[in-house]
Structure 1
Amino acid sequence: MLNNPIMNAKDAISASLAECFITIEGNRYNFMQAINLEASIEKTKSEIPILGKTGKGNKTTGWKGSGSATFHYNTSIFRQLLYRYKETGEDVYFDIQITNEDPTSSVGRQTVILKDCNLDGGILAKFDADAEYLDEDADFTFEDFEIPEVFGNMSGML
């Protein structure tokens, strides 16, 4: 067996130890009703022909941010934004801040702020007589992001 350092199980980040805040027009909401959220970026690339090579290179030319989340169905905040857009044509952008921090882990905490988020759509009304509880999915895009806090390196990484 190799003699490399290995990750300690305690350094796996607990999936539910997170915070989610949404800031809409200066109002900061603790979105404790969030069940899950995932945001990612997709790099856009151009194929670059290169003299002397049989293949093409790839050059990153930009990126696009998108995400999805599931929330307990117990707030009308997003429905109000959709209604406002329908009534006025004004589309509202907002920020989402996600912090992961597991006190057992040695890596500390990470905070990511998704800037200028915009809903792709949303659930207007819902019921399910056979369900234990109601939830709703929301897809969104974002135009920028910051990472003001990053996880530290685990022992043995460097």
Structure 2
Amino acid sequence: MTFLQARDTISGQSAKAYAIINGQVEEMFYAKKFEAKVKKNKKEIKTLGKLGTQNKANGFTGTGTMTIYYVTSAFRELMLNYTKNGIDSYFDVQVVNNDPSSSIGDQTTVVKNVNLDELTIASFDVESEALEEEVSFTFDDWDMPTHFVKPTLG
């Protein structure tokens, strides 16, 4: 019987993330959690001879959230430029998952044309030891230049 070896699971702390904003690469050392999801858009299709409604994919919607420590003004500067000047910003985020103790290698995902939805512009909490903020976003494209290989099974 084969099984997944525990050492091949990926540690969340082993990731690296980079924001590419206006051609400048910024290491997202302040990120605590990042999650980007793709959801297929589907149309319901009814046809003769079939009582059930069928579905056909016709595009996708990209959404995501990131939890970051409240230690960077980079995203607030983008939102400030939009609220003051009407200039919206789009940027890419590259996430590299690589746990050196795993046999599956690394996976690099590039989330493209990230556009912020909502952002905390000021914050304090006298009971917090480390301020955090939740940032929601949309995106319209993505790539996966490198991907995991199959694990060595036990």
**Do both proteins adopt the same fold according to a TM-score greater than 0.5, normalized to the shorter chain?**
yes
* 1:57 positional shift: 1.1
- Cα deviation 1:80-118 (Å, max 9, x = unaligned): 111100111010100000000001111000000000000
In structure 1, the gaps of 5 or more residues are none
- Quote the RMSD (CA, aligned, Å): 0.9
Q: Runs of 4 or more off by more than 4 Å in structure 1?
A: none
* 1:153 positional shift: 1.0
Matches within 5 A, 1:48-59: 48-59=45-56
Give the total of aligned pairs.
153
* 1:47 positional shift: 1.0
* 1:53 positional shift: 1.1
Q: Residue 39 of structure 1: SS of its match in structure 2?
A: strand
* 1:155 positional shift: 3.3
Tell me how far apart the structure 1 counterparts of residues 130 and 117 of structure 2 sit (CA, whole Å): 24
1:135 maps to which of 123, 132, 136:
132
Tell me how far apart the structure 1 counterparts of residues 44 and 140 of structure 2 sit (CA, whole Å): 24
Matches within 5 A, 1:4-153: 5-153=2-150
Tell me how far apart the structure 2 counterparts of residues 22 and 155 of structure 1 sit (CA, whole Å): 32
In structure 2, the gaps of 5 or more residues are none
* 1:52 positional shift: 1.0
- Cα deviation 1:94-147 (Å, max 9, x = unaligned): 000000000111100000000000000200110111111111110000010000
Output the TM-score relative to the length of structure 1. Answer: 0.94
Output the TM-score relative to the length of structure 2. Answer: 0.97
